[in-house]
Structure 1
Amino acid sequence: MPDRPEIVCICGSVRFVDEMRAAHRDLTLAGAIVVGPGGADEVLTEEQRAALAALHLRKIDLADRVLVVNPGGYVGESTRREIAYARATGTPVAFTVPG
């Protein structure tokens, strides 16, 4: 038995916020520690967006695995970068809709 619960980092387009919340809930109820994209209800500056993107990569560094929330198989540019980063660092990647 592990010393701590599995850590899962959720990735995906902000257009799927409801689906990411559902995945977060399901993973948490299954006993995982879940980290995901930082959310903001207001419009962000490019500097803020870049800072949040860099922070999300650090969350991937903490994770045991990444779950990509991709309804309809959609994966945007930012999410593709996160997937490439996770794979380059050896973090396993899974998708809610297999590709």
Structure 2
Amino acid sequence: MQTTPADRPQIVVLCGSTRFWDALTEATLYETAAGRIVLAPGCNLKQPHPLWAQPAQADRLKMMLDELHRQKINLADDVLVVNPGGYIGDSTRSEIDYARALGKPIRYTHPV
């Protein structure tokens, strides 16, 4: 089990499908109110935006964001999987596997 340095709050990373953007936002609120530093997805590629308007842009950005999220998992003390209705997609499952390989504690917002 990983220990948190005494001089900083616990860092939690949120994992989950951006189709549940509102649930991710709500989890950020609760985790922050609990005194944790929250690392979460920063882009919702399911919503239109000029940064990923073209398919090639979206593909490049998705690959970069996947690697960035793995780095967030590296930084975190634990992982909170935001999984309304128990849903876990392929990308989230991959993130869970990555976190497990690092020995990160994993929590879920809904039963798996």
TM-score, structure 2 normalization: 0.83
Q: What is the 5 A alignment of 1:1-99?
A: 2-40=6-44, 41=47, 42=49, 43=52, 44-99=57-112
Structure 1 residues without counterparts, runs of 5 or longer: none
Gaps spanning 5+ residues in structure 2: where?
none
* Paired amino acid for 2:17: S
Per the alignment, in what secondary structure is the counterpart of residue 25 of structure 2? helix
Compute the RMSD of aligned alpha carbons: 1.4
Tell me the TM-score normalized by structure 1: 0.94
Deviation string, structure 1 residues 40-62 (Cα, Å, up to 9, x no partner) = 44245211100000000000000
**Percent identity, aligned pairs only?**
51
1:28-86 Cα shifts (integer Å, max 9, x gaps): 01100000112144245211100000000000000000000000000000000000000
Q: Runs (4+) of structure 1 moved beyond 4 Å?
A: none
Structure having the higher Rg: 2
